[in-house]
Structure 1
Amino acid sequence: MSLSGLGDTGKAQPPPALFPAPESDTPTPGRRRGGAPQNRSSEDGPVQNGPPQTDDAGRQLVFFSADAAEPTVADLAGLLAGPGEVVRMGGTARLSVQVDAAWRVHVLVAELASRGLAASWEPTEGARHAVRTSYTRVLKPLAAAWLHGTTKRPPAAFHLTGRRLRLWLAAAGTPEPPDCFLLRLGAEDKECWEPIGVALASAGLAGTLLGPGEGGPAYRIAGRRRLARLAELVGGAPSAAPADAWPTRP
Protein backbone atom coordinates (compact mmCIF):
# COMPACT_ATOMS: atom_id res chain seq x y z
CA MET A 1 0.00 0.00 0.00
CA SER A 2 1.46 3.32 -0.94
CA LEU A 3 0.74 6.98 -0.65
CA SER A 4 2.73 9.41 -2.72
CA GLY A 5 3.94 12.78 -1.55
CA LEU A 6 1.21 14.44 -3.57
CA GLY A 7 -1.52 12.52 -1.83
CA ASP A 8 -2.13 9.96 -4.57
CA THR A 9 -3.08 6.53 -3.31
CA GLY A 10 -2.72 3.11 -4.85
CA LYS A 11 -5.70 1.98 -6.89
CA ALA A 12 -5.92 -1.41 -5.21
CA GLN A 13 -6.90 -0.11 -1.78
CA PRO A 14 -7.84 3.46 -0.83
CA PRO A 15 -6.64 5.00 2.43
CA PRO A 16 -8.83 4.63 5.53
CA ALA A 17 -11.79 6.98 5.76
CA LEU A 18 -10.29 8.66 8.78
CA PHE A 19 -7.63 10.19 6.55
CA PRO A 20 -8.32 13.87 5.85
CA ALA A 21 -7.95 15.14 2.30
CA PRO A 22 -4.17 15.53 1.90
CA GLU A 23 -2.79 18.94 1.12
CA SER A 24 0.74 20.17 0.55
CA ASP A 25 1.86 22.02 3.67
CA THR A 26 5.50 22.41 2.81
CA PRO A 27 7.26 24.05 -0.14
CA THR A 28 9.18 22.01 -2.65
CA PRO A 29 12.96 22.35 -2.43
CA GLY A 30 13.87 25.63 -4.07
CA ARG A 31 16.96 27.03 -5.67
CA ARG A 32 18.93 29.98 -4.48
CA ARG A 33 20.21 32.33 -7.11
CA GLY A 34 23.25 30.83 -8.74
CA GLY A 35 23.07 27.72 -6.57
CA ALA A 36 21.84 24.15 -6.47
CA PRO A 37 18.68 22.95 -4.72
CA GLN A 38 18.97 23.22 -0.95
CA ASN A 39 18.55 19.52 -0.22
CA ARG A 40 21.57 18.68 1.89
CA SER A 41 21.74 15.37 3.73
CA SER A 42 24.71 15.96 6.01
CA GLU A 43 24.58 16.49 9.76
CA ASP A 44 26.62 19.67 9.72
CA GLY A 45 23.66 21.89 10.55
CA PRO A 46 22.18 24.89 8.77
CA VAL A 47 24.16 27.40 6.75
CA GLN A 48 24.10 30.79 8.35
CA ASN A 49 24.56 34.04 6.44
CA GLY A 50 25.14 36.73 9.03
CA PRO A 51 24.17 36.62 12.70
CA PRO A 52 20.81 35.15 13.67
CA GLN A 53 18.13 37.48 14.96
CA THR A 54 17.56 37.16 18.70
CA ASP A 55 15.23 38.54 21.32
CA ASP A 56 16.28 40.31 24.51
CA ALA A 57 17.06 36.99 26.21
CA GLY A 58 19.47 36.08 23.44
CA ARG A 59 17.40 33.16 22.15
CA GLN A 60 17.74 32.35 18.47
CA LEU A 61 14.15 32.74 17.36
CA VAL A 62 13.99 33.55 13.68
CA PHE A 63 16.83 31.60 12.13
CA PHE A 64 16.03 28.26 13.76
CA SER A 65 12.24 28.33 13.36
CA ALA A 66 10.59 25.97 10.88
CA ASP A 67 9.04 28.87 9.00
CA ALA A 68 12.42 30.51 8.38
CA ALA A 69 14.29 27.70 6.63
CA GLU A 70 13.96 25.68 3.46
CA PRO A 71 13.38 21.93 3.88
CA THR A 72 16.49 19.77 3.60
CA VAL A 73 17.20 16.06 3.98
CA ALA A 74 19.22 16.86 7.12
CA ASP A 75 15.93 17.85 8.79
CA LEU A 76 15.01 14.16 8.90
CA ALA A 77 17.30 13.86 11.90
CA GLY A 78 14.24 15.11 13.77
CA LEU A 79 12.49 11.80 13.07
CA LEU A 80 15.53 9.95 14.38
CA ALA A 81 15.45 12.04 17.54
CA GLY A 82 12.07 10.44 18.10
CA PRO A 83 11.00 6.89 17.20
CA GLY A 84 12.28 6.97 13.61
CA GLU A 85 14.69 4.30 12.39
CA VAL A 86 17.25 4.23 9.61
CA VAL A 87 18.78 1.10 8.07
CA ARG A 88 21.50 0.65 5.48
CA MET A 89 21.67 -1.62 2.47
CA GLY A 90 24.82 -1.41 0.39
CA GLY A 91 25.38 2.21 -0.54
CA THR A 92 21.77 3.19 0.25
CA ALA A 93 19.63 3.74 3.32
CA ARG A 94 15.94 3.82 4.20
CA LEU A 95 14.15 5.84 6.86
CA SER A 96 10.98 4.58 8.57
CA VAL A 97 8.75 5.56 11.48
CA GLN A 98 5.61 4.12 13.05
CA VAL A 99 2.89 6.58 13.96
CA ASP A 100 -0.32 6.32 15.95
CA ALA A 101 -2.68 8.45 13.88
CA ALA A 102 -3.65 8.71 10.24
CA TRP A 103 -3.15 12.48 10.02
CA ARG A 104 0.52 11.97 10.81
CA VAL A 105 0.89 9.83 7.69
CA HIS A 106 -0.26 12.64 5.42
CA VAL A 107 1.95 15.21 7.12
CA LEU A 108 5.06 13.05 6.97
CA VAL A 109 4.50 11.96 3.37
CA ALA A 110 4.18 15.61 2.37
CA GLU A 111 7.30 16.53 4.37
CA LEU A 112 9.28 13.76 2.71
CA ALA A 113 8.04 14.77 -0.73
CA SER A 114 9.16 18.35 -0.13
CA ARG A 115 12.67 16.94 0.28
CA GLY A 116 12.51 14.91 -2.92
CA LEU A 117 11.81 11.58 -1.20
CA ALA A 118 8.92 9.32 -2.20
CA ALA A 119 7.29 7.48 0.68
CA SER A 120 4.92 4.56 1.20
CA TRP A 121 2.78 3.57 4.15
CA GLU A 122 0.97 0.54 5.48
CA PRO A 123 -1.19 -0.26 8.51
CA THR A 124 0.45 -2.16 11.36
CA GLU A 125 -0.74 -3.71 14.59
CA GLY A 126 -2.61 -1.65 17.14
CA ALA A 127 -4.20 0.77 14.64
CA ARG A 128 -0.80 2.20 13.84
CA HIS A 129 0.79 3.06 10.50
CA ALA A 130 4.33 2.59 9.20
CA VAL A 131 5.70 5.33 6.94
CA ARG A 132 8.92 4.61 5.06
CA THR A 133 11.05 5.88 2.24
CA SER A 134 12.58 3.79 -0.50
CA TYR A 135 16.24 2.82 -0.22
CA THR A 136 18.20 5.73 -1.62
CA ARG A 137 21.76 7.05 -1.66
CA VAL A 138 20.42 10.42 -0.54
CA LEU A 139 19.93 9.05 2.97
CA LYS A 140 23.33 7.39 3.22
CA PRO A 141 25.02 10.36 5.01
CA LEU A 142 22.19 10.48 7.57
CA ALA A 143 22.60 6.76 8.27
CA ALA A 144 26.38 7.12 8.54
CA ALA A 145 25.98 9.91 11.09
CA TRP A 146 23.44 8.07 13.27
CA LEU A 147 24.34 4.38 13.08
CA HIS A 148 27.11 2.74 15.06
CA GLY A 149 26.85 -0.76 13.69
CA THR A 150 23.11 -1.29 14.00
CA THR A 151 22.73 0.96 17.07
CA LYS A 152 21.13 4.37 16.64
CA ARG A 153 22.94 7.21 18.38
CA PRO A 154 22.94 10.98 17.72
CA PRO A 155 26.15 12.43 16.26
CA ALA A 156 28.28 14.47 18.67
CA ALA A 157 27.28 17.81 17.14
CA PHE A 158 23.56 17.03 16.99
CA HIS A 159 21.22 19.96 17.55
CA LEU A 160 17.51 20.55 17.09
CA THR A 161 16.26 23.18 14.66
CA GLY A 162 12.65 24.19 14.11
CA ARG A 163 12.25 21.92 11.09
CA ARG A 164 13.72 18.93 12.93
CA LEU A 165 11.39 19.55 15.85
CA ARG A 166 8.46 19.93 13.46
CA LEU A 167 9.11 16.48 12.01
CA TRP A 168 9.55 14.94 15.46
CA LEU A 169 6.32 16.52 16.66
CA ALA A 170 4.44 15.44 13.52
CA ALA A 171 5.54 11.86 14.07
CA ALA A 172 5.35 11.52 17.83
CA GLY A 173 4.24 14.68 19.62
CA THR A 174 1.27 14.42 21.98
CA PRO A 175 -0.41 17.23 23.94
CA GLU A 176 -0.87 16.69 27.66
CA PRO A 177 -3.30 19.34 28.94
CA PRO A 178 -3.20 21.84 30.33
CA ASP A 179 0.40 22.96 29.87
CA CYS A 180 2.51 19.99 28.75
CA PHE A 181 3.56 18.31 25.52
CA LEU A 182 5.15 14.88 25.15
CA LEU A 183 7.81 14.24 22.52
CA ARG A 184 8.04 10.48 22.28
CA LEU A 185 11.28 8.56 21.87
CA GLY A 186 12.21 5.21 20.40
CA ALA A 187 11.53 2.49 22.96
CA GLU A 188 14.73 0.63 22.10
CA ASP A 189 16.93 3.71 21.68
CA LYS A 190 18.17 4.16 25.26
CA GLU A 191 21.56 5.43 24.11
CA CYS A 192 19.75 8.32 22.41
CA TRP A 193 17.62 9.50 25.29
CA GLU A 194 20.18 11.52 27.25
CA PRO A 195 21.87 13.31 24.31
CA ILE A 196 18.45 14.13 22.83
CA GLY A 197 17.54 15.71 26.16
CA VAL A 198 20.69 17.83 25.97
CA ALA A 199 19.73 18.98 22.47
CA LEU A 200 16.25 19.90 23.69
CA ALA A 201 17.67 21.96 26.54
CA SER A 202 20.02 23.73 24.12
CA ALA A 203 16.98 24.69 22.05
CA GLY A 204 15.30 26.24 25.09
CA LEU A 205 13.06 23.21 25.64
CA ALA A 206 14.46 21.50 28.72
CA GLY A 207 12.18 18.57 29.44
CA THR A 208 11.64 15.76 31.91
CA LEU A 209 12.51 12.26 30.74
CA LEU A 210 9.66 9.82 31.32
CA GLY A 211 10.57 6.14 31.38
CA PRO A 212 8.47 3.31 29.95
CA GLY A 213 6.70 2.88 33.28
CA GLU A 214 5.68 6.55 33.34
CA GLY A 215 3.99 6.71 29.96
CA GLY A 216 7.21 7.06 27.99
CA PRO A 217 9.81 6.88 26.82
CA ALA A 218 9.25 10.55 26.10
CA TYR A 219 10.36 14.01 27.08
CA ARG A 220 7.69 16.09 28.79
CA ILE A 221 7.90 19.76 27.86
CA ALA A 222 6.02 21.61 30.61
CA GLY A 223 4.95 25.17 31.22
CA ARG A 224 3.39 27.87 29.09
CA ARG A 225 6.71 29.54 28.36
CA ARG A 226 8.30 26.38 26.98
CA LEU A 227 5.18 25.48 25.01
CA ALA A 228 5.21 28.95 23.48
CA ARG A 229 8.86 28.37 22.57
CA LEU A 230 7.97 25.00 21.01
CA ALA A 231 5.13 26.56 19.01
CA GLU A 232 7.46 29.32 17.87
CA LEU A 233 10.05 26.84 16.63
CA VAL A 234 7.80 24.31 14.87
CA GLY A 235 5.61 26.86 13.09
CA GLY A 236 1.92 26.66 12.28
CA ALA A 237 -0.05 23.44 12.40
CA PRO A 238 -0.28 21.35 9.20
CA SER A 239 -3.75 21.39 7.67
CA ALA A 240 -4.17 17.65 8.31
CA ALA A 241 -3.45 17.95 12.05
CA PRO A 242 -6.37 18.12 14.52
CA ALA A 243 -6.72 21.52 16.17
CA ASP A 244 -5.70 20.22 19.59
CA ALA A 245 -2.71 18.17 18.39
CA TRP A 246 -0.33 21.07 17.72
CA PRO A 247 1.16 23.71 20.04
CA THR A 248 -0.13 27.20 19.41
CA ARG A 249 1.48 30.55 19.91
CA PRO A 250 -0.07 32.55 22.76
Structure 2
Amino acid sequence: MQLELLSERSTADPFAALEGLLIGPAHMVRRGDQARLSVVIPDQAGPVQWRVDALLSAFADAGFSGESARTPRGQTVVRSEFTPLLVPLATAWTRGAVKAPPADFTFDAAKLRLWAVASGHTVMHAVYQFHLDDRADTQVVRALRPLSVQVTAVGPRAGGPALRVSGQRRLRHLAALMGPAPAGADWPDHSLDSSRRQSASNGALRLTKGPAGTTPD
Protein backbone atom coordinates (compact mmCIF):
# COMPACT_ATOMS: atom_id res chain seq x y z
CA MET A 1 0.00 0.00 0.00
CA GLN A 2 2.79 2.45 0.83
CA LEU A 3 4.28 2.15 -2.67
CA GLU A 4 0.85 2.84 -4.14
CA LEU A 5 0.46 5.94 -1.98
CA LEU A 6 3.88 7.21 -2.95
CA SER A 7 2.92 6.74 -6.59
CA GLU A 8 -0.29 8.68 -5.99
CA ARG A 9 1.71 11.55 -4.52
CA SER A 10 4.03 11.75 -7.51
CA THR A 11 1.21 11.70 -10.09
CA ALA A 12 -1.54 13.52 -8.18
CA ASP A 13 -3.49 16.36 -9.76
CA PRO A 14 -1.89 19.51 -8.25
CA PHE A 15 -5.27 21.25 -8.31
CA ALA A 16 -7.04 18.47 -6.38
CA ALA A 17 -4.20 18.49 -3.84
CA LEU A 18 -5.28 21.98 -2.75
CA GLU A 19 -8.07 20.35 -0.75
CA GLY A 20 -5.38 19.52 1.80
CA LEU A 21 -5.07 23.23 2.53
CA LEU A 22 -8.79 23.61 3.15
CA ILE A 23 -8.76 20.88 5.80
CA GLY A 24 -6.51 23.22 7.77
CA PRO A 25 -6.26 27.01 7.96
CA ALA A 26 -7.20 27.91 4.37
CA HIS A 27 -10.43 29.56 3.30
CA MET A 28 -12.08 30.62 0.05
CA VAL A 29 -13.48 33.99 -1.01
CA ARG A 30 -15.82 34.37 -3.98
CA ARG A 31 -15.99 37.48 -6.16
CA GLY A 32 -18.38 37.15 -9.07
CA ASP A 33 -17.15 34.38 -11.34
CA GLN A 34 -13.78 34.18 -9.60
CA ALA A 35 -12.47 32.90 -6.28
CA ARG A 36 -9.38 33.27 -4.10
CA LEU A 37 -7.69 30.73 -1.83
CA SER A 38 -6.01 32.14 1.30
CA VAL A 39 -3.93 30.32 3.90
CA VAL A 40 -3.33 32.02 7.24
CA ILE A 41 -0.34 30.31 8.84
CA PRO A 42 -1.09 29.50 12.51
CA ASP A 43 0.94 31.30 15.17
CA GLN A 44 2.05 27.96 16.64
CA ALA A 45 3.46 26.74 13.32
CA GLY A 46 6.92 28.25 13.82
CA PRO A 47 9.12 29.61 10.99
CA VAL A 48 7.00 30.60 8.02
CA GLN A 49 9.25 31.28 5.03
CA TRP A 50 9.52 27.64 3.95
CA ARG A 51 5.73 27.43 4.12
CA VAL A 52 5.33 30.57 2.02
CA ASP A 53 7.71 29.22 -0.62
CA ALA A 54 6.03 25.80 -0.73
CA LEU A 55 2.52 27.26 -0.90
CA LEU A 56 3.40 29.64 -3.72
CA SER A 57 4.96 26.70 -5.56
CA ALA A 58 1.74 24.68 -5.08
CA PHE A 59 -0.30 27.57 -6.47
CA ALA A 60 1.96 27.78 -9.52
CA ASP A 61 1.67 24.02 -10.06
CA ALA A 62 -2.13 24.42 -10.08
CA GLY A 63 -1.95 27.15 -12.71
CA PHE A 64 -2.33 30.45 -10.88
CA SER A 65 -0.18 32.98 -9.05
CA GLY A 66 -0.12 34.06 -5.42
CA GLU A 67 1.45 36.41 -2.91
CA SER A 68 2.23 36.61 0.78
CA ALA A 69 1.12 39.40 3.11
CA ARG A 70 0.49 40.16 6.78
CA THR A 71 -2.90 40.16 8.47
CA PRO A 72 -3.96 42.96 10.86
CA ARG A 73 -2.99 40.58 13.69
CA GLY A 74 0.51 40.21 12.28
CA GLN A 75 0.09 36.67 10.96
CA THR A 76 1.43 35.59 7.60
CA VAL A 77 -1.15 34.88 4.92
CA VAL A 78 -0.45 33.31 1.53
CA ARG A 79 -3.21 34.01 -0.96
CA SER A 80 -3.86 33.27 -4.58
CA GLU A 81 -4.98 35.65 -7.24
CA PHE A 82 -8.71 35.79 -7.94
CA THR A 83 -9.26 33.25 -10.70
CA PRO A 84 -12.16 31.30 -12.24
CA LEU A 85 -10.04 28.17 -11.84
CA LEU A 86 -10.86 28.14 -8.11
CA VAL A 87 -14.63 28.52 -8.40
CA PRO A 88 -15.36 24.75 -8.51
CA LEU A 89 -13.23 24.25 -5.40
CA ALA A 90 -14.99 27.10 -3.58
CA THR A 91 -18.39 25.69 -4.54
CA ALA A 92 -17.52 22.18 -3.38
CA TRP A 93 -16.18 23.40 -0.03
CA THR A 94 -18.96 25.82 0.93
CA ARG A 95 -22.18 25.05 2.79
CA GLY A 96 -24.10 28.31 2.92
CA ALA A 97 -21.54 30.74 4.31
CA VAL A 98 -19.49 28.04 6.08
CA LYS A 99 -16.45 26.13 4.86
CA ALA A 100 -17.01 22.37 5.02
CA PRO A 101 -15.47 19.33 3.31
CA PRO A 102 -17.54 17.67 0.60
CA ALA A 103 -19.39 14.59 1.79
CA ASP A 104 -17.21 12.40 -0.44
CA PHE A 105 -13.89 13.96 0.63
CA THR A 106 -10.96 11.54 0.61
CA PHE A 107 -7.31 11.97 1.48
CA ASP A 108 -4.31 11.07 -0.60
CA ALA A 109 -0.64 11.65 0.05
CA ALA A 110 -0.54 14.91 -1.93
CA LYS A 111 -3.36 16.44 0.14
CA LEU A 112 -1.69 15.27 3.33
CA ARG A 113 1.56 16.91 2.25
CA LEU A 114 -0.07 20.29 1.62
CA TRP A 115 -1.92 20.09 4.93
CA ALA A 116 1.48 19.72 6.59
CA VAL A 117 2.91 22.59 4.54
CA ALA A 118 0.10 24.87 5.71
CA SER A 119 0.06 24.00 9.39
CA GLY A 120 1.97 20.86 10.40
CA HIS A 121 4.58 21.26 13.12
CA THR A 122 6.40 19.39 15.87
CA VAL A 123 4.83 19.90 19.30
CA MET A 124 7.36 17.86 21.27
CA HIS A 125 9.53 14.83 20.72
CA ALA A 126 7.63 12.28 18.61
CA VAL A 127 4.45 14.39 18.44
CA TYR A 128 3.42 16.15 15.22
CA GLN A 129 0.33 18.34 14.95
CA PHE A 130 -1.93 19.40 12.08
CA HIS A 131 -4.22 22.38 12.59
CA LEU A 132 -7.81 21.73 11.72
CA ASP A 133 -11.10 23.41 11.00
CA ASP A 134 -13.08 22.50 14.12
CA ARG A 135 -16.18 21.55 12.12
CA ALA A 136 -14.37 18.80 10.25
CA ASP A 137 -12.56 16.65 12.80
CA THR A 138 -14.75 13.52 12.65
CA GLN A 139 -14.83 13.49 8.86
CA VAL A 140 -11.07 14.06 8.62
CA VAL A 141 -10.27 11.25 11.04
CA ARG A 142 -12.43 8.93 8.96
CA ALA A 143 -10.76 10.07 5.72
CA LEU A 144 -7.29 9.38 7.17
CA ARG A 145 -8.00 5.72 7.93
CA PRO A 146 -7.30 4.38 4.41
CA LEU A 147 -3.80 5.89 4.71
CA SER A 148 -3.30 4.14 8.08
CA VAL A 149 -2.66 7.50 9.75
CA GLN A 150 -3.78 7.33 13.39
CA VAL A 151 -4.49 10.65 15.08
CA THR A 152 -5.70 12.13 18.36
CA ALA A 153 -7.92 15.20 18.46
CA VAL A 154 -6.91 18.10 20.72
CA GLY A 155 -8.97 21.12 21.69
CA PRO A 156 -8.18 24.83 22.04
CA ARG A 157 -6.58 24.44 25.48
CA ALA A 158 -3.91 22.21 23.93
CA GLY A 159 -3.32 24.43 20.91
CA GLY A 160 -6.16 23.11 18.78
CA PRO A 161 -8.47 22.46 17.19
CA ALA A 162 -5.93 20.07 15.76
CA LEU A 163 -5.05 16.45 15.15
CA ARG A 164 -1.84 14.92 16.50
CA VAL A 165 0.22 11.96 15.36
CA SER A 166 2.33 10.47 18.14
CA GLY A 167 5.04 7.82 18.31
CA GLN A 168 8.11 7.00 16.26
CA ARG A 169 6.54 4.31 14.08
CA ARG A 170 3.52 6.45 13.21
CA LEU A 171 5.65 9.50 12.46
CA ARG A 172 7.97 7.56 10.16
CA HIS A 173 4.94 6.21 8.31
CA LEU A 174 3.52 9.74 8.04
CA ALA A 175 6.81 11.15 6.74
CA ALA A 176 7.05 8.36 4.15
CA LEU A 177 3.57 9.24 2.87
CA MET A 178 4.39 12.94 2.67
CA GLY A 179 7.67 12.47 0.84
CA PRO A 180 10.89 14.51 1.06
CA ALA A 181 10.70 17.60 3.23
CA PRO A 182 10.87 21.02 1.58
CA ALA A 183 14.02 22.96 2.41
CA GLY A 184 13.87 24.23 5.99
CA ALA A 185 10.63 22.40 6.75
CA ASP A 186 9.34 21.09 10.06
CA TRP A 187 8.60 17.50 8.98
CA PRO A 188 7.23 14.61 11.08
CA ASP A 189 10.46 12.61 11.35
CA HIS A 190 12.80 15.54 12.04
CA SER A 191 12.31 15.52 15.81
CA LEU A 192 13.19 11.81 15.81
CA ASP A 193 16.44 12.45 13.94
CA SER A 194 17.26 15.31 16.29
CA SER A 195 16.63 13.09 19.30
CA ARG A 196 18.92 10.37 17.95
CA ARG A 197 21.70 12.87 17.36
CA GLN A 198 21.30 14.24 20.88
CA SER A 199 21.34 10.74 22.39
CA ALA A 200 24.48 9.85 20.45
CA SER A 201 26.13 13.06 21.57
CA ASN A 202 25.23 12.42 25.20
CA GLY A 203 26.53 8.85 24.94
CA ALA A 204 29.84 10.02 23.50
CA LEU A 205 30.14 12.57 26.28
CA ARG A 206 29.62 9.90 28.94
CA LEU A 207 32.25 7.67 27.33
CA THR A 208 34.88 10.40 27.30
CA LYS A 209 34.41 11.39 30.92
CA GLY A 210 35.98 9.56 33.80
CA PRO A 211 34.92 9.55 37.45
CA ALA A 212 33.78 12.87 38.87
CA GLY A 213 33.62 14.36 35.38
CA THR A 214 37.34 13.98 34.64
CA THR A 215 38.52 13.01 31.18
CA PRO A 216 40.46 9.73 31.02
CA ASP A 217 43.93 9.63 29.50
Q: What is the aligned partner in structure 1 of residue 209 from structure 2?
A: none
Asked if 1 retains the 8 angstrom alpha-carbon contact of 2:172 and 2:188, the reply is: yes
Secondary structure at the aligned position of 2:136 is classed as helix
Q: What is the aligned partner in structure 1 of residue 23 from structure 2?
A: 81
Q: What is the aligned partner in structure 1 of residue 49 from structure 2?
A: 102
CA-based RMSD = 1.9
Matched, 1:61 2:2: yes
CA-CA distance at 1:125 after TM superposition: 4.7
Matched, 1:192 2:136: yes
Aligned residues: 185
TM-score (norm 2): 0.78
Larger Cα-atom Rg: 2
- Which letter maps to 1:81? I
Distance 1:126 1:115 in 2: 29
Runs of at least 5 residues in structure 1 that lack an aligned partner in the other structure: 1-59
Asked if 1 retains the 8 angstrom alpha-carbon contact of 2:35 and 2:90, the reply is: yes
Structure 1 pair 203–67 and aligned structure 2 pair: CA distance change class (3 A)? closer
Q: What is the aligned partner in structure 1 of residue 178 from structure 2?
A: 234
| 1:27-38 aligned within 5 A | none
Secondary structure at the aligned position of 1:191 is classed as coil
Equivalent of 2:89 in 113, 119, 142: 142
CA-CA distance at 1:131 after TM superposition: 0.6
Q: What is the aligned partner in structure 1 of residue 34 from structure 2?
A: 92
- Which letter maps to 2:153? L
Equivalent of 2:101 in 154, 178, 203: 154
Deviates more, 1:224-233 or 1:65-74: 65-74
CA-CA distance at 1:137 after TM superposition: 1.2
Asked if 1 retains the 8 angstrom alpha-carbon contact of 2:52 and 2:78, the reply is: yes
Give structure 1 regions of 4+ aligned residues with deviation exceeding 3 angstroms: none
Runs of at least 5 residues in structure 2 that lack an aligned partner in the other structure: 194-217
Q: What is the aligned partner in structure 1 of residue 198 from structure 2?
A: none
CA-CA distance at 1:70 after TM superposition: 4.1
- Which letter maps to 1:73? F
Residues 25-53 of structure 1 deviation map (CA, whole Å, 9 limit, x = unaligned): xxxxxxxxxxxxxxxxxxxxxxxxxxxxx
Secondary structure at the aligned position of 1:181 is classed as strand
Identity score, percent: 36
| 1:162-241 aligned within 5 A | 162-186=109-133, 190-239=134-183, 241=184
